[in-house]
Chains A and B, each alone.
Chain A
Amino acid sequence: TQLLEQSPQFLSIQEGENLTVYCNSSSVFSSLQWYRQEPGEGPVLLVTVVTGGEVKKLKRLTFQFGDARKDSSLHITAAQPGDTGLYLCAGAENFGNEKLTFGTGTRLTIIP
């Protein structure tokens, strides 16, 4: 069973600050996704990365897939209260083996 460890588990910062969330595994993933989940709702997909070293930007969010496809990071610039939520990374094991393994989650709180 492949495991995804996220760090930090909890993060509380002031509005306007920058932050980075990490997602690490000892296993290789064919693709990796980042989701945000708010209370009472299901996770919502933010991005999918498939190539080692790939960087994708979504407004103030920057996602990077590690060169070896074992880790990923999410960087938020100038955090806003609307960024508050549970951030989850999720990896697909092998192409054709369609099980999605979710990370342990990072609960982010942005203080106005």
Chain B
Amino acid sequence: DAGVTQSPTHLIKTRGQQVTLRCSPKSGHDTVSWYQQALGQGPQFIFQYYEEEERQRGNFPDRFSGHQFPNYSSELNVNALLLGDSALYLCASSSSKWVRDEQYFGPGTRLTVT
């Protein structure tokens, strides 16, 4: 049983460009959350998708947007990239919309903005 998968593994972009990160949840999971983890920091919640809708959002600007597809996979889009967007982007899936229930994290996508 494959766990949470994310693509690509690594990505290098230039300031001002746009990027799309992808996440496939663990089999049987319908809820996907995205987190940004800067180097040496804990993850920060970006948003959560359930039933193809954004349910919760953290303190991130509108440059960060997402989508969930009918098969529960999800994309994270970041427009007008800034140097400060360089981070590890983590996707987590669960079978429950309640964060107190177990979330399974993917290995992340390392984004570098130059």
Contacts and interface: CB of A to CB of B under 8 A. Distances in A.
Contacts, number: 65
Interface size class for chain A? Answer: 20 to 34
Chain A binding surface, main DSSP class: strand
Contact of B100 (A33, A42, A104): A33
Interface residues of B, number: 28
Chain B binding surface, main DSSP class: loop
Contacts of B56: 97-99
B42 A90 contact: yes
A48 interface: yes
Given A88-B42, A104-B42, A98 B107 contact: no
Contacts of B51: none
Contact of A105 (B42, B58, B59): B42
Contacts of A33: 100
Interface of B: 4, 33, 35, 40-45, 48, 55-56, 58-59, 90, 92, 97-108
Across the A-B interface, the 3 shortest Cβ-Cβ residue pairs: A42-B105, A102-B42, A31-B100
Interface of A: 1, 4, 6, 30-31, 33, 40-45, 48, 50, 88, 90, 92, 95, 97-105
